[in-house]
Each structure stands twice: as C-alpha cells, then as structure tokens.
Structure 1
C-alpha cells in the first residue's frame, strides 16, 4: 500500500514540479526582460528624450547650436576642439615681455568657435544636460538685475564640488542659500572689512621681510622671485586671522589639503557634465573623500580650539557667524550648526584665499609689464598717506591702485563663468528658459568685447576706470568679476580691501619687472590662474 502511494506521489509531484519550475523560469526571464527594458527606457529618456525636449523648446525661440551625439551630446566635439588648441598653446606659451591677454580661445576654444558660428546666444549639450550660452549684453544685464531664486547654481557642477564647498553659500540654492546669505553677508559689509585692515597689514609683513632677505642674499641687487605662493601665504594668513584669530602656520595644513583637493577635483572636468553611473569608487574618488574628511576634521578642531580661546577676546568672523547660526531657528540643531559652520568655513577659505591670491598674482604680472603704473601708485601714496603709513582713512583715496585692480579683474577675472540652472521655468529678457537648462556666461569674453569696451579692449589700460565702473564702458552691468545679481560674491569688499593693502605695501617698498623666465600660460583649475606661476625681478626702493 505504501509503495502504491509513493508511486502515485512521484507520478503527480514530479510533473507538477517541472511545470512550476518551467513557469518560474519563464517568468524569471520575463521579469529580467522587463527590468532591462525599464532600465533602457529610463536611460533613453534621461540621456536623449529629456535634452531633446529642452533643445526643442529653445529651438522654437530661434536658438541654435551644435548637433549633439548620443549619449555624450557635444562633449566629443568639445574635447576634439580643446585637444587641438592645447597642443599649439603648450608649444608656444608666451615668454618674457610679450603677453597676449586674450586667453579665451585657448582655455575655452569650443565656446569661442560656437560663438563665431551661432552668435552670442546658442545651446549645446553635455551628456543629459542642456545648456544655454548667453553672452549678449542685454540678457546679461537682465540677469544682473534679476532677484529670482529660480536661477540657482547648476546642480551637476556643484555636486562635483561638494567635497570642496559642502553645502555652503557658494553651492546651495533656494531658501537654504537665502538663509545662509542672511547670516554670512553682514560679516562682509565694508565697515566690518575695514576693521580687519590691521590684521591684513600684519599678514603682509612676513612677505616684505622675505623679499628683502632674498634681495640681500643677492648682494642688494635684483632678485628673481616667484610670487604666487608668497601671495597665497599672505591671503591664507588673512583668512586664518579673520576667521580663527590664528596665524597662517596654525591653519597651514588646512590650506595645503584644500589646495591638493582643488587640484584633484580640477582634473575631473566640471564643465562637460557627462553623467556617470559607477557604483564603485575610483581611486581618485577615494582620494577626494579622504581629503574631504581630513579637511573637515581639521576645521572643526580649529573651531573648538577657537571657542576655548575666545573667552574675553574680541569677536572674530567665525564667532560672529557661529552665534548667528545658533540664534537662527533653522540651525538650533547641533549637527546642523556644525555642518553650517564647517561648510561655510570651506567656502570662505577657498573663495577668500585662492581667488584673492590669484588676482594679486595677475596684478603683479601686469604691473611688472607696466612700471609706469607702479610710479603712479607710489606718487599717489606719497600724497595720501601721512608719513607713508597706510590707514583705513587713506585707503579709499588710493584711486590709482583701485584702477589697476579693476583693470586686472577685467582682463583676468579669477572666476571664468557665471553659471546658473533654471530650477523652474524662468524668463531672461526675451528668452523663456525651460526648467533644467543650465545658463553659462563667459566672463572674459564679456570683458573683452570691443563693442562694449572699445578697440583697445585687449590692452591693459587702468585709466578707463578713472571715473568708476559706470563710466568705463557702454554697458557697465557686463563688468562682473565678482559674479552678478543676488549671488554677487559676498567677499567682494574683503577681496578688494586686501588687494589694495597688499599691492600698496609691495609697490611702496619694491620696484619690479617681469622675469625673462616668465611663461604666460593661463590655466583653468576651477579659477583662471597663472599655469606656470609668475616670476618677477624685484629690487628694493632707495
């Protein structure tokens, strides 16, 4: 009987299990097919349909541009144009006193080529991102005067810069950005910046002594000095003192790691915006992550140390921002307060340190080429500064050095772009920018437009600013070395005062000319800096 039941079970179960297995296998393949089809459809929509839809909306408004290829858009063409130009530039970098100031066709040749082909307004794509290039004066002016929160920082760019900037004021958007601006902006008002002039003068003294020692080592004669690292040291010391009340030496490790992180991120092109779907971290990504953690840890240690030291001490920039953050309802949470402070310290460090030092380097390069402007600055200082001492009262009267700085920032603005993303559909002049489109304005092209600045637009002529920015050109709203609109750089006053202090001190003590070893090679590493440094021949004034 048992054998009979067993036989019946085998007869029923085995065929049934085969049927179930066949059903499962068939459905497994079906589910796999559906999953792959869904993934393919998602990627197709993301990489092709979405940019094509945005491109169509722009095309309806008469905006054209290079034809994209799937899946990288205009990137292959950008890379092809760039590689050809870089080979020529590396072989013929300018030496000695021959310096051509128009570098846009070398650093951003695709933008210049497309501008000649399609005009000052055109569209192009990188991966799944659709871009709108806008260098028309009227539209830039309209952007300058717009205060909408619907134009924010491009998210694909800021995501790559997150290790460097966190979610601080340079990277955040919308209400988070507005809240941060409300807290940080008052700390950079002009009256407060003037109060930091003393520490700026103190920070510049080691540079003066170092250059004097270098001249003495050469028998009191000309000494060749590579200036950019010394200027970085001054700028870093100013930021350290302003934020933490500490010298540059205490924050040296932070700045060194920030510089390394900047170079590492710069090697990954943030302009092309090709989507990556890698789930495994590359060696470069691990390196960036490690540097990010180290920098944040060092900043937080400095913050805690500063908190212990600040009892009974005059408030510095960091303490003021910390108190404002804690008192604000959005930052009552300790972790949010910590995140806010660390992120904005990274922002202040990078923007206030690197950009100012680079701008000072370009100023010295141009002054070395034009010693007559060194003489003009000295003559004015003799008239304005009592006993040769620079003070907060005498600083606004130094018109010559102000004109030199303004002209340098016209020819060599550290920030090459104004970049925005339409977080919602936004009107800019006569153009309706669809949500998701990134808007790019190339600052050096605006600053060199002969129709705006005249036929001498590529020449160093500080006298064009003799009557201020609003009388320097036909459309003053296109002079945007510190950005434009509501996202104008908060550190503008800080940078300008620091530049005036450092340059005035250097010019009052030294005369200098460009070294024959100087090679003019502007390089884009998140900002436009001298790719081969700036070498000058320095002599002590009698």
Structure 2
C-alpha cells in the first residue's frame, strides 16, 4: 500500500513538474527567445514582462491619451492609437509588442502590407476575435478560415455585386426619407429654425432598419426587425462588458449579464432559422422552380437562390459532402448575424464621421449639395442611374474613411514560420496593421495627411496616395469586406437625401472625442445642428 501511495505521489509531482516547465517555457523562455530573434533583425520594442507582456503599459498610455481634451482636429492618431504613436517614436515603424506571452509585430510599411494581404496571404490567417465579438459577428465570413471560408465567399460574393444591390435602392430610399421626415417634424431649438440631432444614434437606428429591409425584404420585414432588436441588445451588453476589466473566463461566470447574453444568442439563432425556413418553403412552392424568379429582391432570398444554384443547400442536411463545400441553413443563420453586426456598425460609423466632416467643412458640403441637386433634384431619392454620377460624394466618403476608418487596425497571425520582406517571422506571431497610422502617414499622403481634402481622390483610389496599399478601410486582398458595395450605396443615398433637405453645422454641444470600442466612434455622440432648406433651393441652385 505504501509503495502504491509513493508511486502516486511521484506521478503527481512529475505532472506538476512538467506543467511548471511548460508554463515557464510559455511565459518566460519562449518570449525571451523571440525577443532575441527579432533583436538580431534590428526589431525592438518595449521589454517583455512575464504574464502581462506590455498590456499594462498600453492601457496606461491609452487612458492618459483619452483623458486629455481633443482639439477640433483630424490628427487623431495620438489619441486613438496612442500606444502605437508613442512606441513608433521610440522604436520606429516596425516594432515588437506583447499581449501577455503572445508576440505582436506592428507593421505599417505598405510593401509588407502587400505581402500580408496579397502576395503571401496564404501564410497569414485572420486573428480570432474576442469571444463576445465572435458571438455578435457569427461564425460566418467575418470569422471563418480555410476551405469553409472560401466556399462561403464564392456563394455569397455575387449577392453583393453592384448590379444586384441596385434592386435595394427603393427600400433604402424609403427608410432614409422616413428618417429625414422625422427630423423635419422635430421642433426647432432656435429662431433660425435649427434643430440639434445626435446623428450617431440616429444613423445606428437607420442602418439597422436598412439592413433589415435589405436582408429580409417586405414579406419578412417585421419578423426580421424583431430578430435584430435582440441582436442590438447583445451589442449593448458586449459594449458594457468591454468597458469593464475583462478576466480570462469572465464570460463563463454565472453573472446576470452573461446569462442574458447567452439567452439572447439562442433566441437570435432560433428566430433566424425560422425565417430562413419560411423563405426556403416559399421558394419551393409549386410553380416557383426558377430560383431567379422565386425570391424577392432581398439578400436572404439571393443567398438561398445562390446556394440552390450551386446545389449545396439542404435545410435538413448534415455536414456531409466535400470539406467546407456545403452551405447549410445554419450557415445562413451565421451569415445573417454577420451582415447585421458589420453592416449596421460600419455603415453608421462611416455616416457619422462623414456628416461631422461636412459640418466642419461647409465648402465641401456645398459642393456635394450642388452635385446632388444637379443629378437628383431637390427632393427625389437617387436612382440607380444617378448614384454613379455622385463623384464628389464618393470622394468625400473615401476621405472620411481615410481620416476616420471604422476599424483602426487589423490583425493577422503567421500560420507557420514565414518570411515577411527581410524579416523572419516565427509561427504564431501576430501582425498588427495600424490602419489609422497608414491612413495618416505624411510619407504616403503628403504634408496635409491629417487635413480633410477629398480632392486627393479626384483620380480614384489607386492614385490618391504614393502607394496603392495606403488605403484599406475595408481591408485588402481575398478577405476584403464583401459588403463594401452595400455600405457605400447606402451612404450615398443617405447623404444625398440629407443634403437635399438640410444645411448643417456642428452643434455648440459637440465634443470632438474619437474613441475605439470595437470600431471608431464618437465617445460623446455627434450632435449636429440642422437647418431645413426651402424646396426651391434646388431649382435655384440648378438655374444659377
């Protein structure tokens, strides 16, 4: 009996020893080896600290920057990516930082960005989002990898071709007109007829409405609206959690917030599955066998039709067939979640910052209004024929996304040992691409890099900067955002209708405070003072 007990103790101690050795290797030995590896290549960074890496310093730098008052300036890099701005001045544009024991290489050189996103993209995979974000964005194009991602992309991408999206213009226009008519009914707050409206809040509501109409169409609109009301609650809870100090495993704790978030996630999936089944049944009705004729002009119908044409969708199927090739009803559920999360947040933020910029720069606001009145008239919603004529608005949107990109950074992970330019990158190293820093780099954009100048896009995106990889608001390469055409189409319609009906300026209560909470947003909202234009304004403009 004593010998058995002794052997048991030896086994336990050996197990503890092995665990301690592995832990020591992860939190001490490997980071030191990687620091030395990059040091030999001339890459430095703030020193690694066991367990926490540089997170404590990062948080301290960012808290200090966000506490300082922000002038009315577009030079937002020192505030928004303060840790990058601080360490770049010390270590140069390519430097090493640590998220716990995980190495992260900051890369802002456009030639290296070309390799990461284009020529060697197969070596780098998408970084896994925080679990709270994953729950919101779904297990779709935003988060999938490998063959399954490629299969989903092939099926879904045609849905977002501009020719297909033009059918959504009436639904988008209806939602936008309803919004501005509500604004017109609101009581003026001054004798001049101005009314203050927080466009950040209003555009979130609008983009949620538009994505619901676009995704589900007229027949399932009310059901879809209820589904996305639940997902909006999820977003609120995620934002609350991001404002707290997150501990490993926090989401598993039996808190009221976590329990409610999990219930909402189950309800969203269940409701979406029912909507998809309803749409699928309608398509399969007798006499409606042509997939081009058996669906409405909505994205859900087009996804189902596309999957039918490729013979990959079966509502009752399992996971058989070629790896990653099957596109099931569950897959469509996840893609619907992704469309709502990304479509709502990205487009609303783009519209918010563009409106703020036009309020700050009345000369460009007038130029955009003149273009809209010329091509669309004083009250008509833009049509598929007039949308492509709004060149000035396209330039303004591009400049807005350059100065205030929705996502301020992107992260990729080396799947194996790789060469990046002249750097040897160990497997598992994360690559931080500071999109905001690239967009504000004077070497790429000139001495006016932090100034609002839409004219730099007059000859198109490719010629706007000194390097074609300098502009990446929707990402680059194979994983470029599939919904960018829809986001830009929606933004053009919204801006055109607003410019037809209002002139606007920053409200006296506006506080310039760009901040990051998943995406770039105005921390204190975006109150704008709107003044209605007379309906005859457009005719006078066209005749002048």
TM-score tier by shorter-chain length is 0.7 to 0.9
**Contact 1:418-1:484 at 8 Å conserved across structures:** no
Alignment correspondent of 1:334: 317
Which whole-Å CA distance do the structure 2 matches of 1:519 and 1:250 have between them?
38
Q: Are 1:301 and 2:274 matched, yes or no?
A: yes
Based on CA coordinates, which of the two structures has the bigger radius of gyration? Answer: 1
Which whole-Å CA distance do the structure 1 matches of 2:310 and 2:196 have between them?
51
What displacement does 1:253 show?
3.9
Alignment correspondent of 1:500: 492
Q: Per-residue displacement from partner, 1:376-402 (whole Å, max 9, x unpaired)?
A: 112122322367632111111111111
What displacement does 1:370 show?
1.4
Which whole-Å CA distance do the structure 2 matches of 1:237 and 1:472 have between them?
33
Q: 1:251 to 1:279 in 2, by over 3 A?
A: closer
What displacement does 1:281 show?
2.6
Q: Are 1:28 and 2:8 matched, yes or no?
A: yes
**Contact 1:54-1:437 at 8 Å conserved across structures:** no
Alignment correspondent of 1:59: 39
Alignment correspondent of 1:6: none
Greater Cα offset, 494-503 or 102-111: 102-111
SS of the equivalent of 1:471 reads: coil
Alignment correspondent of 1:347: 338
Alignment correspondent of 1:153: 126
What displacement does 1:313 show?
4.8
Q: Are 1:193 and 2:173 matched, yes or no?
A: no
**Contact 2:507-2:527 at 8 Å conserved across structures:** yes
What displacement does 1:28 show?
3.0
SS of the equivalent of 1:397 reads: coil
Unaligned runs of 5+ in 1: 1-19
What displacement does 1:316 show?
2.4
Alignment correspondent of 2:265: 292
**Contact 2:503-2:533 at 8 Å conserved across structures:** yes
What are the residue-to-residue correspondences of 1:185-264 with 2, within 5 Å?
185-215=157-187, 221-246=193-218, 250-264=223-237
Which whole-Å CA distance do the structure 2 matches of 1:515 and 1:305 have between them?
46
TM-score (norm 2): 0.87
Which whole-Å CA distance do the structure 1 matches of 2:501 and 2:420 have between them?
49
Q: Are 1:314 and 2:286 matched, yes or no?
A: no
SS of the equivalent of 1:458 reads: coil
TM-score (norm 1): 0.87
SS of the equivalent of 1:440 reads: strand
Which whole-Å CA distance do the structure 1 matches of 2:221 and 2:31 have between them?
47
Alignment correspondent of 2:89: 116
What displacement does 1:62 show?
2.2
SS of the equivalent of 2:465 reads: coil
SS of the equivalent of 1:37 reads: helix
Which whole-Å CA distance do the structure 1 matches of 2:445 and 2:263 have between them?
46
Which whole-Å CA distance do the structure 1 matches of 2:32 and 2:338 have between them?
35
Unaligned runs of 5+ in 2: 286-293, 320-327, 535-544
Q: 1:81 to 1:448 in 2, by over 3 A?
A: same
What displacement does 1:261 show?
2.7
Greater Cα offset, 215-224 or 437-446: 215-224
Alignment correspondent of 2:505: 513
The count of corresponding residues between Structure 1 and Structure 2 is: 512
What displacement does 1:520 show?
1.3
